């Protein structure tokens, strides 16, 4: 069974930075997409950033220039570096993975999910 475990969330003031990590185990697809999603209270889950097995990255417009997604294949780890954080970035952040379906930020395209890590940005 695929396991995704997030870490690195926390509380930070606006303008600060956080680094999220996702440790993936038993995920063996050669063509895949992995990414970060977030969900704030009362809102739908939305794609933040994804990366596929070819290294193609996609970002939500709201985080372009501030967030960077990367992966450490040797450690089976997905990273989200978040800089210049804003209060509107406050949400539960989830790591997700799935078979490759193209460059996508659609949560429905991902079949495996972690439990999430909370990010809170205060003004």
Distance CA 41, CA 112 (A): 21
pLDDT band at 56 (very low <50, low <70, confident <90, very high): very high
Q: Which of 25, 24, 44, 43 lies closest to 35, judged by CA?
A: 24
Structure confidence at residue 33 (pLDDT): 93
Structure confidence at residue 113 (pLDDT): 97
The whole-number average pLDDT for the span 75-96 is: 96
Q: What is the per-residue pLDDT across 16-32, written as a single tens digit (0 to 9) for each?
A: 999 999 999 888 888 88
Q: Which of 55, 75, 58 lies closest to 7, judged by CA?
A: 75
Structure confidence at residue 103 (pLDDT): 83
Other CB atoms within a 10 A radius of the CB of residue 113 amount to 17
Structure confidence at residue 72 (pLDDT): 87
């Amino acid at each position: 069974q695929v396991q995704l475990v997030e870490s690195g969330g926390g509380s930070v003031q606006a303008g600060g930075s956080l680094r999220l990590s996702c440790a993936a185990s038993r995920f063996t697809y050669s063509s895949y997409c992995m990414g970060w999603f977030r969900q704030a209270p009362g809102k739908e889950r939305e794609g933040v950033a994804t990366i596929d097995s070819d290294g193609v990255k996609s970002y939500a417009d709201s985080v372009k220039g501030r967030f960077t997604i990367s992966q450490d294949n040797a450690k089976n780890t997905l990273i989200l570096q978040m800089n210049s954080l804003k209060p509107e970035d406050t949400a539960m952040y989830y790591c997700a993975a799935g078979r490759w379906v193209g460059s996508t930020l659609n949560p429905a395209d991902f079949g495996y999910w972690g439990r999430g890590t909370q990010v809170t940005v205060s003004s």
